[in-house]
Structure formats: C-alpha cells, structure tokens
Amino acid sequence: MNTDNGLLGGITAQAQKKAEKIIQNAQVRSDQIIADAVEKSKHDVMLEEKSYTGRVATEGLKLEASKRSIARKVQLEILNRRYTQLLENVREKVLSTLQGKEGEAVLCSWILEAVLGLGLDKAKISFCISTPVNEEMLRKVEKMALDKYDLTIALQLDSRRLLAPGVVATSLNGKISFNNQVDVRMRRFDRDLKVAVQEGSCPQE
C-alpha cells in the first residue's frame, strides 16, 4: 500500500512539474505574442502617421497649386481686360486724330509708309470714305518722298473704297499691296501694346 502511495506521489509530482513547465512555456509565448503585437501596433501607428502626414502634405501642395492657378487666371483676366480697354482707347484716339486737324498729315505719312513698304515707285491709293484722300494729298506725299528719301514716286487714287478707316497702297497691276488701315496697323503693334499693359499692370514675379 505504501508502495502504491509512493508511486502515485511520484507520478503526481512529475505531472505537476510537467504542468508547471507547460504553463511557464505558455507564459513565455504569451508574453512574446503580446510584445510582438505591441511592437506591430506601434509600427502600424507610425506608418499610419507617416501616411496621414504625407496625405496632408500632398493635399497642402494641391491647395497651394490650386491657389496659384486661380490667382494666375485672375491676373490674366485682368490683363486681358486692360489690354482690350487699352486697344479700344488707342483705336478711338487714332480715329479721332484722323478725323481732326492732324488727320491729313497722319494719312499722308501712312500713305508714304505704305508706298515705301510696297517697294515700288508707282502705286494707287485706296481709302475709306471716313478718312478721305485727294489728289492734293498724293502730291504732298510725292514731295515728302523726294525731300526725305530722294525718291521719285508717282501716285494715283484707286477707284476702290475701303470699308475700314486708313489707306492701302497697291501696285498698278493689283498684284501686291501694303495695308495701312487702322485695325491692321494696330495688329502690327499688338506685341508692343501687350508689353505696355504687362509692364504697367503686372509686377515681375
């Protein structure tokens, strides 16, 4: 009987030790799992923070780009309106000058410019009814060419009438011409007018 009790006690003690070992190992594994989970959680939080910071930075850059784009569009619209207004002001001033006391002198200079641009010594001049040209003016232009440039030219009036103010010099055979109408002249100076608007209205970036 005592033998049985001793044997049973040994088995129980051995089982107890084995159970304690199992519990100990389980505790170690549990602690490691918890530690790994905490570390992973920290890592995930860090990645999420980086991702969030990146998204915030990206959205910030998009917002700034959008602001700059809107500001540029507004600036361009302002410049365009000012350019359009300047163009209209210049056109009105030119038309007013042509129909005033200085109109004849201006038209004569335009005729001479057109003839010189044409590069011929003979040409016919067409004009608009609102900015009329006569034979006397052609003689003045011929004299101007001789006095200023030592060029002998012969001009005659064209039977055609222009629809817009200004003059056009055409070769006698009608094949080539030089247009000095108001709107065409203004288009030639389009770049200069735009530069004037930008320099006067747009600060350097």
**Whole-model pTM over 0.75:** no
Is 57 strand, coil or helix? helix
The strand ranges marked E within the chain are 122-128, 154-162, 166-170, 177-181
Over residues 122-157, the pLDDT tens digits come to 999 999 999 999 999 999 999 999 999 999 999 999
Q: Please state, in angstroms and rounded to a whole number, the distance separating the CA atoms of residues 14 and 5.
A: 14
Q: Of 14-23, 56-65, 122-131, which has the strongest mean pLDDT?
A: 122-131
Do 175 and 124 touch, CB atoms closer than 8 A? no
CA dihedral of residues 118, 122, 128, 131 (deg, nearest 10): 90
